[in-house]
Structure 1
Amino acid sequence: MDPHSHLIYLDNAATTFPKPSLVMEEMVRTYSRIGASPGRGSYDLAVQCESFVHEVRQQVSNFFGGDNPDRVAFAYNSTDALNTIILGLIQPGCHVVSSRLEHNSVLRPLHHLRARGLITFDLVRFDGNGFIDPQEVADLIKPQTRFVILNHVSNVLGTIQPISEVGSICRDRGIPLVLDASQSAGLIPIDMQTMHLHAVAFTGHKALLGPTGIGGLVLRKGIEIQPTRFGGTGIESRSPEHPGAYPYRLEPGTLNIMGIIGLSAGLRYIAQQGMENIYNHEMSLTRALRDGLASLDRVRTYCADTLENHLGVLTCNAEDVDPEDFAAILDGDFNIATRSGLHCAPLVHEDLGTSPRGALRFSFGPFNSLEDVKAALSAVSAVAK
């Protein structure tokens, strides 16, 4: 079979594709059965829908080691959830600690708030292997530090950060730790209790294998998020004040029921297949790609000398080839989908020395195969010759 006759999708860090058939089938089946508006009526269908949503809250809470399903709030995606957390936590004059590994979904809200004189923030650097040092986080904490917010896994480098160690520091200092689990949720076990996390933001359409348009946040007891949007919730409708009870305080408007169904199905698929099995499969492909790229003189990979504490993300450049052209050739000539540019993480590329053009990123999903790796290596070899 011609290896170029079908799409080889290696952009799973952007969104996983394809989705499991279980997810697609369950979205159609369940939405056809209970596709009403939860909490907006007393008739049986609306009650069934509300009950289903609560079941998924419990499912999500269990998945992340939360302590109360009512403190699971659904959002459009992790960017939406992160904005809700950041804007709902800050106080005028407070200080925030984050890192230079962050995605713009964290960097831009922080910049927006600082530009308006509301906060200050400091960013910890990462080392030559792509990891932050927990002690450097500790060194940046000040008396006015309101919270620490960190990426669990870099979407550029695939490096898994030492979050548990940072969590212990934050616990000892009495500082909430917020986790951006956009890349990690579905591939790495996350336990809010043992990792000392106060809040987790996640998206459904990446490693959780659900559809786009669904994500959320999970809050432990002891952290309070002020609402940043207001509107109908289906309760306390006579009051002009937005409800203060969770999850309603963070969920104005009608929920994305189709997305919640797909998220639930994605979680069930992961449980059936085994998270560790999915992770090991993707890492075996990543190692094969890394080893193959290492044999090409004109190709450089970043922070991939060791793939310990790593996900299936590999970023590279080819000598004298613009990353955008690189991706276009792989797409047009070889039908291989990758991601080029700055990956919405400009500070990572500044520190790698790849700014302003960025780099080419390969990222694996559960349905990729060793044949995909071989095709990618053949294509890169042809481009970088």
Structure 2
Amino acid sequence: MIYFDQAASSFPKPKGVGKAMLHALNEIGANPGRGSHQSARNAASIIQETRERASRLFGCTDPKKALFYSNATTALNQAIKGFPWSRGDHIIATSFEHNSIRRPLEYIRKQKGITITYLQWNGDTEKFIIDLEDAVTSKTKLIAMTHASNVTGTILPIEKVSKVARRNSIKTLLDGSQTAGHIPINMVRQDIDMLVFPGHKGLLGPQGTGMLLVEGDIELEPIHHGGTGAYSELIGQPEQWPEKYESGTLNTPGIAGLNAALTLLEGRSMENVPRETLLAKQLLKGLKSIPGIVCYGPQEHESRMPIVAFNINDIPSQEIAMVLDTHYNIAVRAGLHCSPLGHETLNTTEQGAVRASIGMYNTEEEVNFFIKAIQEIVSAYEDL
């Protein structure tokens, strides 16, 4: 199988990831923070080591504020729903937001009486920043923004956004679901107050893992309450980080796998243009040479994530994905990609789009085979 669905979940994983998970499952097994015996201490050590490594990699100065969740969606819910809102507060987001940001925002719009501005992106950074500055009001408390579109691979100018936020004393929440592991992120240097990322995409870790990293003094209201191991004598949720935000048993095998993936990332240099991005540009160039293909997002010479979204004439995107799967054994994702705002921006709400996303283990030969497959599909539809 040619796996071009890396933006949904990376595959294959480095061997060390599965090995670390099996070790935690078969050799440790205990509940971290729920006992003083050796196995519990070993489990707790895995958790702490992963907190410290993630903090180091992403520029979070306090590992206690590196929080574990079952995925990026849950982490985003904690950041958004737990933020200290007052009725009438204002949030700025973008037209590229995944439902993992949009739906919590719309929930607190109803529950808390806040207002939301979704900024449109048209490829012009200068205009985008002007629009951002114009959208800021005295009530703006948070800019919640994806780092890169999961539909088109467009990278948003987070450093410029953060400067606007800092000048206006606005907190920032960055969804790094598509960028973590692909391009460097440093919370201190880039003035990011809260960063969320999943373990299973560009970081090459396991599914069922995600993190929220908090930089500086932000007091969130926990959205989950329950057992925390320590501070059991308290009736209410403890005030200490990370226990305040991590009720219930953590996914120790998953976090062990994430730690292994982060260790590999820490050991390799982050290239200016990762190999998978070069392959995506090669794919984009090949697709654009085929009559009837419409591609979306940045051009070949522009910065982008290793994502290529396209359509073939007016053929439903799901149909193309099915043909690629059944006839060519190629895995892609089609439809709306949980980002209806992005598809409204692209005018593809009815058709959706075919998304091919590439990872570090994909090859040039696979890209060439994919382009040939699309050429054959286009020719077959022309003959109907």
Given the two structures, how large is their TM-score scaled by the length of structure 1? 0.95
Cα distance in 2 for partners of 1:315, 1:260 equals 32
1:253-292 equivalent positions in 2, closer than 5 A: 253-276=248-271, 280-292=274-286
Q: Quick check: 1:46 aligned with 2:37? A: no
Counterpart secondary structure, 2:197: strand
Q: 1:305: Cα distance to partner?
A: 2.0
The letter of the residue matching 1:150 is: M
Q: 1:3 — aligned with what? A: none
Decide whether the 8 Å contact of 2:285 with 2:300 is kept in 1. Answer: no
Alignment match, 1:218? 213
Which of 237, 245, 249 is the equivalent residue of 1:242? 237
1:200 is paired with a residue whose SS is strand
| Aligned-residue offset at 1:284 | 1.6
Q: Quick one: distance in 2 between partners of 1:311 and 1:68? A: 29
Q: CA shift at 1:270, angstroms?
A: 2.0
Measured after TM superposition, the shift of residue 190 of structure 1 is 0.5
Out of 295, 300, 318, which is 1:324 matched to?
318
Shift of 1:45: 1.5
What amino acid is the match of 1:297?
P
1:272 deviates by 3.3
Superposed counterparts of 1:149-168, under 5 Å: 149-168=144-163
Q: What is the SS of the residue equivalent to 1:275?
A: coil
Counterpart pick for 1:68 among 62, 72, 78: 62
Contact 2:84 2:221 in 1 (8 A): no
Q: Do residues 364 (structure 1) and 358 (structure 2) align?
A: yes
Question: Unaligned 5+ residue runs, structure 2?
Answer: 380-384
Name the structure 2 match of 1:333. 327
Q: Deviations over 1:5-36 (max 9, x none)?
A: xx000000000011111111122124333221
Deviation at residue 174 of structure 1 after TM alignment? 0.8
Q: Return 215-224 or 132-141, whichever deviates more.
A: 132-141
CA-CA distance at 1:48 after TM superposition:
2.0
Letter of the 2:77 partner, please give it.
N
Query: How far apart in 2 are the matches of 1:207 and 1:329?
Result: 27
Q: Deviations over 1:285-338 (max 9, x none)?
A: 111111111110110101232442211000000013210100000000000000
Give the letter aligned to residue 212 of structure 1. Answer: Q
The offset of 1:135, in angstroms, is 2.5
Structure 1 segments unaligned to the other structure (5+ residues):
1-6
What is the rounded CA distance, in whole Å, between the counterparts of 2:262 and 2:298 in structure 1?
A: 29
Question: In the TM superposition, what whole-angstrom CA distance separates every residue of 1:345-371 from its partner, at most 9, and x where no partner exists?
Answer: 111111111112210000001110011
Q: Which moved more, 1:114-123 or 1:326-335?
A: 114-123
For 2:20 and 2:231, the matched residues in 1 are separated by 33
Alignment of 1:39-188 (within 5 A): 39-93=33-87, 94-116=89-111, 118-128=113-123, 133-188=128-183
Distance across 2 between alignment mates of 1:216 and 1:117 = 25
Residue aligned with 1:89, SS: coil
Aligned to 2:21: 27
8 Å CA contact 2:66–2:242 kept in 1: the answer is: yes
* 1:241–1:307 distance in 2 versus 1, CA, 3 Å: farther
For the aligned residues, what is the CA RMSD? 1.6
Q: TM-score, normalised by structure 2?
A: 0.95
CA shift, 1:131, in A, is 9.4
Q: Is the 8 A contact 2:57 2:266 kept in 1?
A: no
Report the 3-state secondary structure (helix = DSSP H, G, I; strand = E; otherwise coil) of the residue aligned with 1:314. Answer: strand
Q: Is the 8 A contact 2:281 2:300 kept in 1?
A: no
CA distance in 2, matches of 1:197, 1:324: 37
Post-superposition CA distance 1:211-238 (Å, at most 9, x none): 1000010001221211111000011212
State the match for 1:375 in structure 2: 369
Distance 1:54 1:227, change over 3 A: same
The structural deviation recorded for 1:273 is: 3.8
Q: 1:230 aligns with which of 220, 225, 233?
A: 225
State the alpha-carbon separation in 1 of the partners of residues 261 and 29 from structure 2: 18
Which secondary structure does the structure 2 equivalent of 1:136 belong to? Answer: helix
